[in-house]
């Protein structure tokens, strides 16, 4: 058995998963965390779900941001065209 790793604790995982996904953990801590949850299918599954969810939300926010920028850009172009037409 791997003696270097602390005993797996599912409740500790729940506290840490968000820190890892938010990038609050160092690379070393993250690696230890991944090694730890790979020993527990329950936590590994939970981690993957959280990761997918976070990626999904991030994409959604980004897309919303982009479409807002695009909308403003289009409004600006329409406004510019209107200005030119009125000259």
Length of the chain as a residue count: 87
Cβ-based burial of 46 (10 A; exposed 0-12, middle 13-18, buried ≥19): middle
Question: Judged by CB under 5 A, which stretch of 8-16, 21-29, 47-55, 69-77 contacts Zn ion?
Answer: 8-16
Q: Which two three-digit tokens encode residue 23?
A: 């990038």
Which one of 10, 19, 57, 66 is in contact with Zn ion (CB under 5 A)? 10
C-beta of 40: minimal distance to Zn ion in Å? 3
Q: For residues 4 and 76, what is the distance between their CA atoms, to the nearest angstrom? A: 60
| Of residues 41-70, those binding Zn ion (CB under 5 A) | 42-43
Nearer to Zn ion, 39 or 63 (CB): 39
Residues binding Zn ion (CB under 5 A): 10, 40, 42-43
């Amino acid at each position: 058995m791997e003696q270097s790793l602390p005993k797996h604790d599912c409740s500790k995982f729940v506290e840490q998963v968000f820190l890892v996904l938010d990038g609050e953990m160092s690379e070393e801590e993250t690696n230890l965390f991944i090694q730890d949850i790979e020993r527990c299918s329950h936590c590994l599954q939970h981690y993957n779900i959280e990761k997918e969810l976070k990626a999904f939300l991030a994409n959604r926010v980004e897309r919303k941001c982009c479409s807002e920028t695009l909308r403003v850009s289009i409004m600006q172009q329409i406004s510019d065209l209107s200005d030119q037409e009125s000259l």
